[in-house]
Amino acid sequence: MQAPVAIEPPHEDFPQPSPLEPALATTAPQPPKNRKKLIIWIAAVVAVLLLAGAAAWFVMHRDKHTTSSKAPARATAKTTPKKSTEKIDPLLTKFATPTTGEKWTAPVKVENLKYYKDDTDGSLTTYYQIGTRGKNTIYMGSPNTMDEERILFEKAPDGTVSAILQPNATATYSSDYNTYSKSQLADTVVANTTIHYDSLSLPKNFAIGNSETVAPRSAEYQGLGNLQQPNTDATVTRTTLHAYGGSKLIKIERKYADTHLTSVHYALDLPINTELDLSYVPISTNLTSYTWSNDSNIIADSDSDIAQMGGIVRGCGSTIFAVSRADAAHDSDFVPAGKTEDGKTVYAFKDNNNDIVQKAYSEYSDYYADDSSTDVVSFNDFLKQHAIVAYKTPNNGWLVYTRNNFAALGGCAKPVVYLYPTHAQNVSVRVGADVTVSDPLYSAADGWNVFARPNGQLSVGGTTYGSLFWEGQGTGAYPGINAGTVVKHADALATIKKQLKQQGLRPNEINDFMAYWQSKIPDSPYVRLTWLNTAQMNQLAPLHISPQPDTLIRVFLDMQGFDQPVKLPAQHLRAIPRQGFTVVEWGGLSGSRLQ
């Protein structure tokens, strides 16, 4: 706003008499020839003064009016801003700016340090140099088996090695954990439970916007996460939401183009090159505390899963920490169905013919159809018992959940592994998965140890096998589905055979695949066929093979049935040339989750 204009004395705007000349006498008569000029000069001065006064009056009154109508804005501009009253979490501050002296560096793989008691040859553990604390060097022992935790070690200049068993100062470490961890250490390693690192001490939660937060999975020991892997999967989107010193809060999304569902979860990329899954729970997953509009009650019994729910994208389709977003859903698709204990409204689909509703029931009924221990409920009871629950969150749009007892929770894979060494030799094979079924028997600690021949024959304990079979859920996350081939059911069998050949499988491998999967092709008018490749399978369920093969071919078929054709971009399949020691694996998945 412009300030009022000040009226300056006229002697600064107009010429004044020189001090060396006498002033004009206003009372003395003037010569007639000058009177006219004098009158004109005085009139001009008066006119200018009147105009200046009028302008000043206008500006002063305009400013007065403007000041009155915009007083709050002007007062705000002149008022010193108040300091924010928002509390800053001191743990978050230290997490971002550590005070405990650790300095992390890019991990460098080192030789076997022999810090674990039962791994003197280093076959079960990979070691990395990852940083320093003062004059101490920090290493990380990363077990190759999925059920063992990573441990940090500090080596002092005098050679003393300490296992840092409680690096997270905010976690609760049970006595059982401490006892077990100490039992794994070599005799030359000292167990230390007093050294903590601020940069690994997690705060209670992390903000993701709109008053929503994500948090560590529990107050108990959260572990150090899994090793970070480069994102080579185009179906996965990783977005950095915030950086805290050397750590990053990541949002991970996997989109499924055929059902327009997206699996969403959050993780923390730690400065030690590991990724820790976080928990995002916008509404309680325990349905016993809900109040329902139809006056129904959900009561937990001896099977606690009865009253629990999770994202509708299940099993292979997502991590257990993920939620499922329905990208094609609109507000008009839902009606209120109940309230959570803290008063949040949950919804049901308005139209029971909605594709998600119909497909969810179809997958549930198909999955349990051959299970004699489970009675498949009718579609109406499926809905009345709140098998599907929806919630609208300010950050993620419409989230869709299914109750655990109405969800297909089968294993992720049923792969078969073939070994073709260049000469007969012993081979060790371990799978990065929770193997629940296997043939020959898979050891959780050691995997398979077989004698392999170039023709593919395998000997285990005096028995000959043509391949290794396993079933279970991989340690990694399932990729999204953004391409594939949609065919009529009658054409599915021929298309699968053709696509297996395109990917370089031999006749015996194709025949084995078809013998197992032909009967599992979805019984629907249309079938979607999507193949996961070697890189995607290496992230989902990595294979650890010793000696390391020269060629690794992994193909995995994801099948889904549809009543109507679905448009998807086509996949470009290619064969990998077989050179040297070759390992081939095929697997598949049919309708075990709504994806």
What's the pLDDT tens digit per position in 524-535? 899 999 999 998
The CA distance from 156 to 159, in Å, is 5
Least confident interval from 41-45, 156-160, 543-547: 41-45
- Strand 551-562 relative to strand 582-590: parallel, antiparallel, unpaired? parallel
What's the token pair of residue 11? 């002697």
Q: HSE on the CB side for 69, CA within 13 Å?
A: 6
Predicted pLDDT at 317 = 53
pTM for this prediction: 0.69
Residues 6+ apart with CB under 8 A from 78: none
pLDDT band of residue 79 (cuts 50, 70, 90) is very low
Does residue 28 have a pLDDT over 50?
no
Tokens of 541: 């369920």
Token duo for residue 99: 């005070």
- CB of 246 within 8 A of CB of 228? no
Asked if residues 190 and 115 have their Cβ atoms less than 8 Å apart, the reply is: no
CA neighbor of 162 nearest in space, from 194, 121, 197, 125? 194
- pLDDT band at 214; cut points 50, 70, 90: very high
> Is 414 strand, coil or helix?
coil
Q: Stretch 26-51: mean pLDDT, rounded?
A: 48
Q: Which residues of 247-265 are buried (b: 16+ CB within 10 A; e: fewer)?
A: bbbbbbbbbbbbbebbbbb
Confidence at residue 85, expressed as pLDDT on a 0 to 100 scale: 43
What pLDDT sits at residue 256? 86
Count of CB atoms situated within 10 Å of the CB of 298: 18
Contact 117, 186 (CB under 8 A): yes
pLDDT of residue 26: 37
Report which of 146, 11, 177, 241 is spatially closest to residue 470, judged by C-alpha positions.
146
* Structure tokens belonging to residue 315: 């099993």
pLDDT grade, residue 300 (50/70/90)? low
Contact 542, 583 (CB under 8 A): no
More confident residue, 31 or 458: 458
Q: Which tens digit of pLDDT belongs to each residue from 219-247?
A: 666 688 888 877 777 788 999 999 999 99
Residue 173 is predicted with a pLDDT of 86
pLDDT digits (tens, 9 = 90+) for 319-373: 677 899 999 999 999 999 999 999 999 999 999 999 899 888 887 887 777 667 7
Helix (H) or strand (E) segment spanning residue 393? strand 388-393
Please report which confidence band the pLDDT of residue 593 belongs to, taking 50, 70 and 90 as the band edges.
very low
Euclidean distance between CA atoms 379 and 418, whole angstroms: 43
Quick: pLDDT tens for 552-585. Answer: 999 999 988 888 888 889 999 999 999 999 999 9
Give me the count of residues in the chain: 595
Residue 279 has pLDDT above 70, yes or no: yes
Supply φ then ψ for residue 354, to 5 degrees: -55, 140
- In the chain, % of residues over pLDDT 70: 79
- Structure confidence at residue 280 as a pLDDT band (50, 70, 90): very high
Q: φ and ψ at 157, to 5 degrees?
A: -60, -30
Q: Tokens representing 188? A: 């030359």
Cβ neighbour number for residue 519 with a 10 Å cutoff: 9
Q: Name, in order, each residue with C-beta under 8 angstroms of 515's C-beta and a sequence gap of 6 or more.
A: none
Contacts of 380 (CB under 8 A, 6+ apart): none
pLDDT of residue 19: 38
Q: How far apart are CA 188 and CA 65, in angstroms?
A: 84
When pLDDT is averaged across residues 485-502 and rounded to a whole number, the result is 94
DSSP state of 171: S
E strand map for 257-355: 261-269, 274-277, 291-292, 309-311, 323-326, 334-339, 345-349
Q: Is the pLDDT of residue 551 over 60?
A: yes
Contacts of 52 (CB under 8 A, 6+ apart): 7
Counting Cα atoms < 13 Å in the Cβ hemisphere of 205 gives 12
Q: What is the pLDDT of residues 127-178, one digit of tens each?
A: 999 999 999 999 999 887 655 688 999 999 999 999 999 999 999 888 888 8
For residue 25, give the DSSP letter.
Answer: P
Q: Is it true that the peptide bond before 440 is cis, omega within 30 degrees of 0?
A: yes
Query: Which of residues 493 and 76 earns the better pLDDT score?
Result: 493
User: Please, are residues 141 and 115 in contact by the beta-carbon 8 Å criterion?
Assistant: yes
Residue 453's Cβ-count burial label (10 Å; 0-12, 13-18, 19+) is: middle
Residues in Cβ contact with 58 at an 8 Å cutoff, skipping those fewer than 6 apart: none
- Supply the mean pLDDT for the chain: 82
At residue 69, the pLDDT reads 41
- Residue 333's contacts (CB-CB under 8 Å, 6 or more residues apart) are 349, 350, 351, 354, 398
The residue among 304, 314, 302 whose CA lies nearest residue 360 is 314
What pLDDT does 217 receive? 79
- Residue 184 CA to residue 193 CA, distance in Å, equals 15
DSSP string for residues in 202-229: --S-EEEETTEEEB-S-SB-----EEP-
Are the beta carbons of 102 and 131 closer than 8 angstroms?
yes
